[in-house]
Amino acid sequence: FSTRKDDWRHYDWSKITTIVLFRDWDVELMCHAHSKNVRVVLAGIFPVANLTNASQRKSWIASMLQKAKDSYADGINVDVEEPIAKDTLERQLLVTLVNDTRNAFLSQNKFAQVTFDVAWSPECVDRRCYDAVGLAEVTDFLVVMSYDEQGQIFRPQAC
């Protein structure tokens, strides 16, 4: 999750296993987290429009891998916040992207962690019809965005 710069100083570190940084890399946070046996991973946001472009996927993975190496990150959390329809090539290619990301990260660090953010329900919330089972098979774990139950794309509907 994303935090303000110094919020981490107040965390109960006994309840945390991983921190995803959705802001600038924080070396002090990383070192403190590591002292508490907590992983710190990059946030990786990939545009759905580029899923069908193999060279874009490969370039993004290489870029994220280099960023992880340069910052000593423990892995990556892939976060796609865009609609993908069921039974589409993009749905399959998202799993391919995450699997290729995992393979690349593990080739450089056998302890790298790769995770993916999913909606609170697998039922195409906000038209995000991601293959949750396929994504679970190619990640260390899924991050369920349970804080996001209202959705982001559509206005709230009357009951």
Q: Which residues partner with 75 through β-bridges?
A: 113
What token pair was written down for 96? 């391919």
Q: pLDDT value at position 159? A: 44
Whether 144 contacts 115, CB under 8 Å = no
Q: How far is CA 80 from the centre of its chain?
A: 8
* Tens digit of each residue's pLDDT (9 = 90 or more) over 104-153: 999 999 999 999 999 887 888 888 899 999 999 999 999 988 765 555 55
* pTM score: 0.89
Residue 149 catalytic?
no
Give the per-residue pLDDT at 34: 97
Distance CA 122, CA 146 (A): 12
**Helical packing angle, 54-71 and 89-108, nearest 10°:** 30
Catalytic residue among 81, 82, 137, 149: 81
Q: Are 42 and 73 in contact (CB under 8 A)?
A: yes
pLDDT in tens, 24-78: 999 999 999 999 999 999 999 999 999 999 999 999 999 999 999 999 999 999 9
